[in-house]
Structure 1
Amino acid sequence: MNRRILPTANRRRPKRPSGLFPALAALMLLASAAAGRDIGPQSQVSREQVEKFIGLWKDHFAGADSLQQRRTAFRTLMETTPGPTRIQVRQVDADGVDAELMWPARLHHPIGQRVILYVHGGGFSSGSIRTHSLLAGSLAKAASSDVLLVEYRLMPEYAYPAQINDALTAYRWLLDNGYRNENIIVAGDGAGGNIAIETVLRQMQAAKPLPAAVIALSPITDLAATGGSMTSNAGNDPLLGKAEIETLRKTYLRSRSPTDPQASPLYADMAGFPPLLLQVGSGEVLLDDTLRLADKARQAGVDVTTEVWPGMPHQWQLFPSLLDDADRSSQNIAEFAIRYFADKPQE
């Protein structure tokens, strides 16, 4: 398994958290630092940017306790960010799933050749094409690829498995509309990362064509919230906590077990899964969701690349106008996609 970790500036030994899973996570982080490719330490400028961003996040989410309130807070926060530029956009109906197909506004871009199916995050209950259009547009340009951004059904109006069904429908729509599976990447962040992985697992179970690779950014892989970082990083992650995960789980799964592999990919059989890129911030409560899935996938023979970004908050990739590291991580995502597309972009 390829692991890349962006080292902290002073390379201090991390504190040893109590409990089995935090200890394992710490050991894995140290192993990654020893074996991975150094991309560079988090700068003082980056730390200041993150601090400012967290303040902005807290301002928007103050008093937002219900799912509906958090949906509104996320929407209004993302409305403060710019939209994508130098992008062509087409609204599409992907067999009943609303979606937006975007591609770089370049003279000879080959529409219909390569595509990233992007499943937005937002705790299964918020997020939209608008909230993730900047990231999707950035990936389209950097990977010289089409991007299909899906508007899947949200809870509490629609519970599990509506979200996964919509993403799977969109994936199969791409196959039915001329995209070859070896030129499709499935990607998502947070809850969207969960949906992206589960979509591909369902395609595997159906013995249908699999995408070239999968990209999951801070995915929720364990809806039982058993990872040690749920506790050890609770004070470091103001954007998401164990209580929020448990609230999402109850509404999303209702009576279904949170350890059902059809909902929590950490418990799934990963043998035969496509190459996988995982990104996560070192202080996220979802750190162990990423590291444990990476380890399980590696043991199943999956080609896994894991990036642990020091100091980055949940969903940092959405905010390139505020965080320089958002651009850097998006470039890594694009490079990974290009590596696994069967038809590479022309130089």
Structure 2
Amino acid sequence: MNGRNLPPADRKKPKRWGCLLPALAALMLLSSEAVGQDMEPQSQASREQVEKLVGLWKEHFAGADSLQERRTAFRTLMETTPGPTRIQLRQVDADGVDAELMWPARLHHPIGERAILYIHGGGFSSGSMRTHSLLAGSLAKAASSDVLLIDYRLMPEYGYPAQINDALTAYRWLLDNGYDNGNVIVAGDGAGGNIAIEMVLRQMKAAKPLPAAVVALSPITDLAATGDSVASNAESDPLVDKAWLEISRKAYLGNRSPTDPQISPLYADMKGFPPLLLQVGSGEVLLDDTLRLADKARQAGVDVTTEVWPGMPHQWQLFPSLLDDADRANQNIADFAIRHFQDKPKE
């Protein structure tokens, strides 16, 4: 496995470039800020599809107040969705972390070259390989890549930092099993997005090989829940609210500070972070968790692509069988992965 090639610390730049460096730095920052997606307005068909999905969410989550009840509700909801098609999978033990390795069915064996490590969401307390298998399978086909979908330890049985530890173990398992870090993308949604980002920040701190890029879908980046959208989008978000964020925070962290950079990436130093794709729905309570992280990362020089999808609810990418916009969002994720893989798919 190869790390990023860095120039020797004592190598001096030619003096003739000195006067241009500030201008080049400003241009790079401007270019980074300009990177993003102008999303089309939500169509009437999309609104109707979202309304149907929200109805299903409300039906399954009615009366589910405790962590265990919400875990069950999420599982039963996702059991109503189809599983992935045209993929093959293998159960693997990623150094003690249960996982499924998926790849396109047209191949008789894993690609063994490119991989997406997918970390499911579910508020740190729910979700599984089953709940996210359709999304993971879609990415395997669209990105022509292996996908390692992991079952990390959940709270309340296990609190912080067990979840991040498991994700990091799975990432290092990929590197130890022949995947070059330049051909690995780390992705996650909601709590999984938080875990994905924090896992990579740990690798940075340890000066270990970083993935080619990171994808975070509506990530929880501020467990202190200080974003304006926590209140301003309270009426438009049917899935996440401040009360639930507080319940999750207390169960996950105990007495730890929610503004600890090793817990909430919004407070971390993002300098040197890999290219980052962020997707979020315009009416989500977690909208500002995404937008503020994007701003902070850009200011640190990170290559950030931010997509704000009109009218999309939290975790809409899980439902390509119900939402056309889920298909489109997942294709964007796959395209982003392909652009950043060191070795591109040949077909």
TM-score (norm 1): 0.89
- In 1, the alpha carbon distance for the partners of 2:59 and 2:245 equals 21
Q: Tell me, what secondary structure is at the counterpart of 2:91?
A: strand
- The residue that corresponds to 2:268 in the other structure is 268
Paired with 1:255 and 1:89, the residues of 2 have a C-alpha distance of: 40
Alignment of 1:259 with 2:259, yes or no, is yes
State the 1:42 CA deviation. Answer: 1.1
Q: Deviations over 1:118-145 (max 9, x none)?
A: 0000000000000000000000000000
Give the equivalent residue in structure 2 for 1:346: 346
The equivalences for 1:199-210 within 5 A come to 199-210=199-210
Alignment of 1:160-199 (within 5 A): 160-199=160-199
What is the CA distance between 1:146 and its match in structure 2? 0.2
Q: Larger deviation: 50-59 or 69-78?
A: 50-59
The answer on 1:279 being equivalent to 2:279 is yes
Tell me: CA distance 1:123–1:208, structure 2 relative to 1, closer, same or farther (3 Å).
same
Cα 1:102/1:35, change in 2 over 3 Å: closer
Determine helix, strand or coil for the equivalent of 1:131.
coil
Written as runs of structure 1 = structure 2, the 5 A alignment for 1:68-87 is 68-87=68-87
Query: Which amino acid in the other structure matches residue 140 of structure 1?
Result: A
1:90 aligns with 2:107: no
Q: Who is 1:51 aligned against?
A: 51
**What SS does structure 1 have at the residue aligned with 2:92?**
strand
> How big is each residue's C-alpha offset from its partner over 1:249-279, in whole Å with a ceiling of 9 and x where there is no partner?
0000001000001010000000000000000
* CA distances 1:81-125 after superposition (whole Å, capped 9, x unpaired): 000001010000000000000000114776210000000000000
What percentage of aligned pairs have identical amino acids? Answer: 86
Aligned equivalents of 1:81, 1:207: Cα separation in 2: 41
2-structure distance, mates of 1:107, 1:65: 44
**Conserved in 1, the CA contact under 8 Å of 2:185 and 2:212?**
yes
> Following TM superposition, by how much is the alpha carbon of 1:240 offset from its aligned partner in structure 2, in angstroms?
0.5
- Kindly indicate whether the alpha-carbon contact (under 8 Å) linking 1:109 and 1:144 is maintained by their aligned counterparts in 2: no
Cα pair 1:193 1:217 within 8 Å, conserved: yes
CA distance in 2, matches of 1:339, 1:59: 39
Amino acid at match of 1:87: I
Match of 1:12 in 2: none
Any residues of structure 2 matched to 1:28-39 within 5 Å, and which?
37-39=37-39
Q: 1:268 to 1:136 in 2, by over 3 A?
A: same
**TM-score of the two chains, using structure 2 as the length reference:** 0.89
Q: For residues 152 and 35 of structure 1, what CA distance do their matches in structure 2 show?
A: 33
Distance in 2, Cα, partners of 1:313 & 1:49: 11
CA offsets per residue over residues 169-225 of structure 1, 9 Å max, x none? Answer: 000000100000000000000000000000000000110000000000000000000
The secondary structure found in structure 2 opposite 1:130 is coil
Question: What one-letter code is carried by the residue in structure 2 that aligns with 1:232?
Answer: S
Q: CA deviation at 1:77?
A: 0.0
- Helix, strand or coil: the match of 1:160? coil
Structure 2 residue matching 1:338: 3-state secondary structure:
helix
Gaps of 5+ in 2: 1-31
Give the distance between the partners of 1:287 and 1:325, measured in 2 at CA. 17
SS of residue matched to 1:326: helix
Q: What is the rounded CA distance, in whole Å, between the counterparts of 2:322 and 2:146 in structure 1?
A: 25
Q: Aligned-pair distance for 1:154?
A: 0.2
Larger radius of gyration: 2
User: What amino acid sits opposite 2:226 in the alignment?
Assistant: T
Alignment of 1:204-243 (within 5 A): 204-243=204-243
For 2:88 and 2:260, the matched residues in 1 are separated by: 40
Q: How does 1:113-132 map to 2 (within 5 A)?
A: 113-132=113-132
**C-alpha distance in 2 between matches for 1:213 and 1:144:** 16
Which secondary structure does the structure 2 equivalent of 1:129 belong to? coil
Instruction: Say if 1:336 and 1:35 are closer, same or farther in 2 by CA, change over 3 A.
Output: closer
Would you say the 8 A contact 2:266–2:292 is kept in 1?
A: yes
Aligned-residue offset at 1:40: 2.5
Aligned equivalent of 1:330: 330
Aligned-residue Cα RMSD (Å) equals: 1.4
Report the CA distance between 1:36 and its aligned residue: 5.0
125 and 36 in structure 1: CA distance in 2 versus 1, 3 angstrom threshold: closer
Residue 292 of structure 1 pairs with residue 302 of structure 2? no
CA distance in 1, matches of 2:63, 2:37: 41
1:94-173 mapped onto 2 (5 Å cutoff): 94-107=94-107, 111-173=111-173
| Matched-pair contact (CA < 8 Å) for 1:283–1:313 | yes
How far did 1:52 drift?
A: 1.1
Q: Look up the equivalent residue of 1:225 and give its one-letter code.
A: A
* Partner residue in 2 for 1:307: 307
Residue 132 of structure 2: SS of its match in structure 1?
helix
- Contact 1:91–1:101 at 8 Å: present in 2 too? yes
The Cα of 1:37 is off from its aligned counterpart by 4.3
What is the rounded CA distance, in whole Å, between the counterparts of 2:304 and 2:199 in structure 1?
18
